[in-house]
Chain A
């Protein structure tokens, strides 16, 4: 319940504050959001597996976001920014799918 409220609060905060993302951050934010989504779904999966650990969650959330951002930064510096972004999004999307599939199996056994 509290996490759901948190999500709602975050969305509301974003809508109300109308944050203007600084330019240098704009290529990184969408990737970071996808990485965060992956971490959250992974945590949810671990929770249903009974293997959830808050320490692991915090570390995976932070490292996912940081590594994704660093990789994009590295790619941008090397001139392959859009390719690396695409690669990261593909990998993260794959992981999101497998996490959702694992969660789904808990509920439908299929």
Chain B
């Protein structure tokens, strides 16, 4: 039975493959020509600059919208840069020095070589069972950075670009080499409300810590100090 089906299949394949000018072969060939030609033609249409001309109005609207907002952003940036340039050119050295100091301050905070004080959040992650892995702390830091944190410290360690996290086998976490035990205290300078919201999103940090049996306390404050500094390199 099975071999009969196989034989039938083979015969059909053979009939399909054998070049014969039967009506069905010619029809199939005609359809194949149309299919191939159409495919190439629409591929070319989709990859030419005419694609915009054929786009639908709503697609064009979305495109236009994003271009507009982008151009607005760029214009704002251009204005700001023009103002800065004018100050630098016209003014005394004082303007240049002020500008340089300002940039130095911003970059130092980012690099973690100076203390930072300002509005922000203080976070205490308690973990009585000592089972929260270092990845949760890393996630917290990423979440805070995404929410606009300018300076972060965990315990007495300033978090900078090359800060690393590792688990300690007996419990606890090593942050850039410094062993820490829960509760972990994290201070972050930035927009407190945004950071608080970022930590509380469903499935976010607070949820995952709570699921592991720990708890998170987040307090937004007007003046949070990130006192730890990273060694200058």
Using CB atoms and an 8 Å cutoff, list the residues of chain A in contact with chain B: 1-15, 18-21, 23, 26-27, 29-30, 32-33, 36-37, 39-40, 43, 47-48, 50, 52, 54, 57-58, 61, 76, 81-82, 106-107
Contacts and interface: CB of A to CB of B under 8 A. Distances in A.
Contact of B34 (A2, A5, A10): A10
Interface stretch (B35-43, B155-163, B187-195, B196-204): B35-43
A10 B36 contact: yes
A37 B42 CA distance: 13
Given A1-B19, A6-B36, A15-B40, A30 B31 contact: no
Given A5-B29, A7-B35, A10-B36, 14 more contacts: A1-B25, A2-B21, A6-B28, A10-B38, A11-B36, A12-B36, A13-B33, A13-B37, A21-B42, A26-B45, A27-B56, A43-B31, A50-B8, A82-B56
B70 interface: no
A12 B33 CA distance: 9
Contact of B33 (A7, A27, A57): A7
B31 A57 contact: yes
Interface of B: 8-9, 12, 16-21, 23-42, 44-46, 50, 53-54, 56, 58-59
Nearest to A12: B36
Contacts of B33: 6-7, 9-10, 13
